[in-house]
C-alpha cells in the first residue's frame, strides 16, 4: 500500500487550515489512509490512540464537503459510543469547521429539545452522535429528509462495538440508514484489535473495503501497589475522616497527582467515585468526579476542566 508524505492531495483551504494548526506532515495513519478515503473507499483504520487516525478520516471528508458546489442536509455522520467522546469530538472539530465555512452539531440523550428541533429545521453539515441516537432520529420525517444526501459515516471506537449489543444496534441502525440515504462511504476507527478481519466484517459485511493497520511503538509502565498505613497516614485519616488503610491510598494518590500533569482514577462504583472525590477534595481542590448519574452540565464542566489542566485528576467508573 502506497503512502503520501505530504498533504498535497487536499485542497488549499484544508491545507491552509493544517498550516494554521501547526500540522505540517501527515502521521502514518494519515499518510496511508487519507488518500484511500479521498478516493471514496470504505476503510478501517487500526492504530493506537494519539496516532492521528481521527484526522486521517476527517481531513479527506472535510476536503470533499468543502469542495461541493451545493450542500443539502447532513453530509457527514460521526458516531461514537460515548457521549463524552461526542462532546470531545465536537470541541475538536468546531474550530476547523468554522474556518472552512461548515456547520457542526452534536446529538445524544442530553441534547435539549430546542436544539433537536433546530437540527431538524436547519441541519448541520456534520452531526456527531451515538449508535442509540442514530436509531432514535431515523423515524423522524424531517431527519430522514436531512439524511438523504449523506456522503459518509465515521464510526469511532470500533473495538468497543464488535460482538457487543451496542454493536448489533449500530449495525441495524446503519442498515436502516441505507434505506434512507442509499449507499454511503463508511470509515471505521479502532485501537489495536486481535482480529482486524473480524472487526472489518462486523463493520462492512460483504462490502468492498480496505484495512489500514499501523503499529506504533508506545512505552507503558505498569505497577501494582498496596500502600500500608504509617504515622503520617494516621494524621491524614483524621483530616479526611478515613480509615488508616484508605488514608494510605489517598496519600499515594495525592503524591501521584503532584508528579503527573493529569491522572485518571478508575473505581468500581459511582458511590466509591463520590467518596473518593470527597476525600481527595479535603486535600486539594483540583480533583473532579465523573459518572453517568451526574447532570450533563456537571459532566461537561469537569471534562472541560480536565482537558484544560484546571483539574489534575478525574475519578469515575
Phi-psi region at 135: left, alpha or beta (left = phi > 0; alpha = psi -120 to 50):
alpha
| Domain covering 12-213 assigned CATH 3.40.109.10 in the classification | no
Reported as a single tens digit per residue, the pLDDT across 24-54 is 889 999 999 999 999 999 999 999 888 889 9
Query: In this model, does residue 296 exceed pLDDT 80?
Result: no
User: What is the pTM for the complete model shown?
Assistant: 0.74
Output the pLDDT for position 222. Answer: 84
Q: Which of 311, 242, 291 is nearest to 84 (CA)?
A: 291
Same fold, 12-213 and 231-316: yes
Task: Say how far apart CA 237 and CA 311 lie, in whole Å.
Answer: 23
| CATH code, 231-316 | 3.40.50.300
Task: Say how far apart CA 29 and CA 212 lie, in whole Å.
Answer: 7
Domain positions in the chain are 12-213, 231-316
For residue 147, the Cα-to-chain-centroid distance in whole angstroms is 22
Specify whether the CB–CB gap between 161 and 131 falls below 8 A.
yes
Reported as a single tens digit per residue, the pLDDT across 191-207 is 878 899 999 999 999 99
Reported as a single tens digit per residue, the pLDDT across 212-239 is 998 876 667 888 988 888 877 777 888 8
Amino acid at each position: 500500500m502506497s503512502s503520501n508524505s505530504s498533504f498535497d492531495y487536499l485542497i488549499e483551504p484544508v491545507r491552509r487550515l493544517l498550516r494554521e494548526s501547526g500540522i505540517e506532515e501527515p502521521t502514518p495513519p494519515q499518510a496511508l489512509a487519507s488518500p484511500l478515503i479521498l478516493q471514496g473507499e470504505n476503510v478501517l483504520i487500526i492504530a493506537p490512540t494519539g496516532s492521528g487516525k481521527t484526522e486521517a478520516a476527517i481531513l479527506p471528508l472535510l476536503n470533499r464537503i468543502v469542495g461541493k458546489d451545493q450542500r443539502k442536509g447532513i453530509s457527514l455522520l460521526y458516531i461514537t459510543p460515548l457521549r463524552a467522546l461526542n462532546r470531545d469530538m465536537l470541541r475538536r472539530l468546531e474550530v476547523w469547521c468554522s474556518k472552512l465555512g461548515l456547520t457542526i452539531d452534536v446529538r445524544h440523550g442530553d441534547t435539549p429539545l430546542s436544539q433537536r428541533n433546530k437540527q431538524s429545521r436547519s441541519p448541520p453539515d456534520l452531526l456527531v452522535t451515538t449508535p442509540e441516537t442514530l436509531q432514535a432520529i431515523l423515524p423522524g420525517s424531517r431527519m430522514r429528509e436531512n439524511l438523504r444526501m449523506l456522503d459518509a459515516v465515521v464510526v469511532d471506537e470500533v473495538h468497543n462495538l464488535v460482538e457487543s449489543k451496542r454493536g448489533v444496534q449500530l449495525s441495524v441502525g446503519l442498515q436502516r440508514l441505507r434505506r434512507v440515504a442509499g449507499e454511503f462511504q463508511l470509515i471505521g476507527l479502532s485501537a489495536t484489535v486481535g482480529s482486524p478481519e473480524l472487526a472489518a466484517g462486523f463493520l462492512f459485511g460483504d462490502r468492498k473495503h480496505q484495512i489500514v493497520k499501523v503499529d506504533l511503538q508506545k512505552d507503558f509502565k505498569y505497577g501494582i501497589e498496596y500502600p500500608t498505613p504509617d504515622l503520617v497516614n494516621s494524621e491524614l485519616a483524621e483530616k479526611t475522616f478515613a480509615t488508616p488503610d484508605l488514608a494510605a491510598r489517598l496519600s499515594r494518590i495525592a503524591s501521584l497527582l503532584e508528579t503527573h500533569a493529569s491522572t485518571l482514577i478508575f473505581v468500581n462504583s459511582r458511590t466509591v467515585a463520590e467518596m473518593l472525590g470527597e476525600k481527595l477534595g479535603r486535600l486539594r481542590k483540583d480533583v473532579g468526579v465523573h459518572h453517568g448519574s451526574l447532570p450533563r452540565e456537571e459532566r461537561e464542566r469537569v471534562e472541560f476542566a480536565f482537558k484544560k489542566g484546571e483539574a489534575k485528576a478525574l475519578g469515575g467508573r
